[in-house]
Structure 1
Amino acid sequence: MTAELATSRLLPRRFGLHKPRLHVHEGDLARADAILLRATYCDPQANAALVGDKRLLFSASGRSFITYAAKGRTWLALGAPVGQAEEALALAQRFISLAHKRRAKPAFYGVGPAFDPIAEALNLTRVKTGERAILDLTHFSLEGKQRQVIRTHRNRHIKNQFSVRIEGPGAVRANLARLQQISDQWLSHQVGGEKGFGLGRFDVHYIDRLPLATVRAADGHIVAFACLWPTADKSRLGVDLMRYGSDAPNGVMDYLFAELFLWAKAQGFQAFDLNTSPLAGVEPCSSSPVVTNLAKLMFEHGEKLYNFQGVRRFKNKFHPEWEDVYLAAPKGVSHFVALARATLLINRPM
C-alpha cells in the first residue's frame, strides 16, 4: 500500500471539464478547504462542505466556517462550526442571529457530543436522529475472533495479488473514466441514487479535493474505491463515497476497510469514523414524540427511501462504538419540520 497525502488540497487542476452549478463561489470552497487543513475544531463530516451544494458562513477572522443549506424557511447547518475552537460558539450564535434576521428557522443537523457545550450555552433543544460508528484505532488490530471475517477477506485478497493504494488529492483525474464506470455500476444497484447535503456525490470537482483509496488487481485494474475525510488534528479519519465495480471480488469492501484501518492507525489517526447511520437507535421520547416516532418508523420501513438497516448492518460488522447524533435547534423551531427538510436535502440533491 502506498501513501501520498502531501499533495496540496487547494483548488484542483482544471482540465476544461464541465463544472456543476454551485451554491458557493469556487474561491470560497478553496477558503473552506484551507480552513479544514488547519482546523482545531472539526470532525470528518465537515469535508462535505467541499461538495459545493451548501452555503458557507465564515467567521470574522476567516479561520472558521459553518456550512448550511436553506430549505423553505429552514436553515440547516451541517454539523458544528469548523475551524478554531475558540470561535465556534460565537459563529454558531451568529448563524442563529442571521437566520432570525432573515426570518428563517435555524437548526444544526448531525451534531455529536462535542457540540453539547455550544447547545447548552445557546439553550438549544436536541433530538436524537441517528448514531455514528466510531472505531477506536489506538489499540486496533486484526487479531481475535471479532476480526475473523475481515481478516479472512484481507488474507484472500492479498493472496490473489490485490493491493490498496492511497493517494493525495488530485489523483482522481488520472483514473476518472474507470472511477466513473465503477460509480455508475454501484449506483445501478442502490436505493434512491446519489445523495446530498451530509453525503458526497460522484463529482470530480468534489472528490478530486479528497484523498483517494483504490483497490487494484495485480495488473493495476481498479475494482473499488473510497474517498477519505481526514481531520487536521488526526483525531479521526472518515470515509465518504465507498463504491465497487461489477467485476469486484466478494468481500472487497471488507478488504479495503481492513487496509484503511491499519493505514490510518500507522498514520497516527486516533479513530476511524464510519459515518452516520441515519435514524438508527432512535426511540420514542416524551420531549419530542412526533419526531422520534417518525424517525423510528422510517428506520424500520423506509427502505425505498434509503437503506437504513443495511447501512447499520454493514458498519456493525467492524464492531464500532456507536455515538449519538442529534438535531439541535433554538426553542420555537420545529424539530419535525427541520428533520423532514434535512431528509429532503439528503435524498433530493440540489
Structure 2
Amino acid sequence: MEVTALANIDELPLSWTRTHLTRPRWQAIKLPLSGLTWLAYATLPATFTLTHLQREYFANSGLLLRGCPSSVASTLAAAGWETIRVGIEGIIDLTSDSLSRRSIRKMTRAALRFGSVIEVPWNPAAVARLRWLAREARYGERPQLRYLFRTVFEPETRLFVFVDRADEWQGALLLTQPTPTTAVTELMLRRVTAPSGIMEALFTTAGQHLYAEGCRTFSLNEVPFYHLEQDLRPLERLVTLVGRQMTAVYNAHGLYRFKAKFADFWRPVYLCARPRLSIRALVDLFTVSGCLELAASGLYHRRAA
C-alpha cells in the first residue's frame, strides 16, 4: 500500500536527518533471506518525506525501517505495514534541569580538570581521528555493529569531543539534527584510559550548545531489547529474548542505566516492514547488522575463559 500522511510529520526514524541537499542520500541494504530492502538511514532534503522516497526510489520494493517513533509507526501501520516494538528511546528535555542534576554536575567538574569539550567542524582529519578513537574505545576490539546508527563523521552530522591538555581525544559524541529543535545521539565513544565524567561533560556541553541554538529535545537514541511495558506481543517477546542472549557482549540493561542518568522520559521504538515482518526478516536484520557475529564472539570468549 502507498504510504500516506507522512508529509506533515516532522519526526523521522532514528539516524535519519534532513539537510540542504537537493537530492536524498540513503543507506539501503538488500536483505538476502526476506528480499526486503532495509533503509538503515537517510539524509533528506528539507521538504522531502518518506512518501517521496518510497514513491520515487523504492515503489516496487519491500521495505524495512528500524528506529521508528510511535508517530511514524502508527502512520505506517495504517498504511498496511507491520510494526513491532524492539526497544525504547531516552529523551532529554533541554528546557528542564536534567543536565544540571547534582550527580551530573559533580562528574562534569571532575572531568573538566583534565580537559575541555569542543565542537569540531567537519574535515577529513577529524573523520580519521574519530575512527582512531573508535578503535581506542572500550570494546573497540570486538566485532562492531553495522547500520544501526551512524558511525562516520559526515558533513550532515555534528561532533563534540573531549580534548585533554595534551590535545588527545578522550571521548566523543556524534549527533544528527533532523530539525532545528531536535538532536539525536548517534555514537558515544570513550577511551578505556579516559578520566571519569567525560561522557557527562560531553552531554552537558553539547546540550548547552544545542539549547542556545533553539534545540529543545536531545535524543539518547535507542536501548534495544528493553521495554517499560509488559504487554509484549509474541514477535516482540522473541526479539527481546534473542537480544538478551547477547548480554555478555551487549548489555542493554547497563546501557539503560547509563542513559537513565540523563533522560527525562522514554518512548517506544518500532521496527516496521512492508508487506510483512517475517522471521526471515528478523534473521536478516540480526545477521547483516552484526548482532549474530557479536553474540558469537561473546560465546567464544566465555568458552575460552
Match of 2:169 among 222, 239, 260: 222
1:45 corresponds in structure 2 to 15
Is the Cα contact below 8 Å between 2:12 and 2:72 reproduced in 1? no
Distance 2:53 2:136 in 1: 41
1:19 corresponds in structure 2 to none
2:281 corresponds in structure 1 to 338
Distance 1:131 1:240 in 2: 15
How far 1:157 moved relative to its partner? 2.5
Tell me if 1:71 matches 2:28: no
1:139-288 mapped onto 2 (5 Å cutoff): 139-140=96-97, 142-143=99-100, 147-158=101-112, 160-170=113-123, 173=125, 176=128, 179-187=130-138, 189=139, 192-201=142-151, 206-209=152-155, 210-231=157-178, 233-281=179-227, 283=230, 285-286=232-233
1:327 corresponds in structure 2 to 271
SS of aligned partner of 1:45: coil
How far 1:326 moved relative to its partner? 1.0
**Amino acid paired to 2:167:** G
Question: What RMSD over aligned residues (CA atoms) do the two structures have, in Å?
Answer: 3.3
How far 1:221 moved relative to its partner? 2.9
Tell me if 1:137 matches 2:94: yes
Is the Cα contact below 8 Å between 1:110 and 1:327 reproduced in 2? yes
SS of aligned partner of 2:107: helix
Q: Could you say if the C-alpha distance between residues 310 and 108 of structure 1 is closer, same or farther in structure 2, counting changes exceeding 3 Å?
A: same
**Amino acid paired to 1:225:** A
Is the Cα contact below 8 Å between 1:80 and 1:115 reproduced in 2? no
Distance 1:82 1:245 in 2: 33
CA displacement, residues 261-291 of structure 1 (integer Å, 9 cap, x when unaligned):
22211121111111111121075644xx1x2
**Greater RCO, 1 or 2 (C-alpha within 8 Å, sep 6+):** 2
SS of aligned partner of 1:326: strand
Number of residues of Structure 1 aligned to a counterpart in Structure 2: 279
2:3 corresponds in structure 1 to none
**Amino acid paired to 2:31:** K
Provide the TM-score with structure 2 as the length reference.
Answer: 0.77
Is the Cα contact below 8 Å between 2:13 and 2:72 reproduced in 1? no
Distance 2:22 2:279 in 1: 33
How far 1:66 moved relative to its partner? 5.5
CA displacement, residues 303-322 of structure 1 (integer Å, 9 cap, x when unaligned):
24533222222111113311
1:92-103 mapped onto 2 (5 Å cutoff): 92=54, 97-99=59-61
Q: Percent identity?
A: 19
How far 1:84 moved relative to its partner? 5.0
Which structure shows the bigger proportion of residues in strand conformation?
2
How far 1:299 moved relative to its partner? 4.0
How far 1:192 moved relative to its partner? 4.3
CA displacement, residues 26-54 of structure 1 (integer Å, 9 cap, x when unaligned):
xxxxxxxxxxxxx966466115x9xxxxx
Distance 2:288 2:280 in 1: 12
SS of aligned partner of 1:194: coil
Gaps of 5+ in 1: 1-38, 50-60, 100-104
SS of aligned partner of 1:107: strand
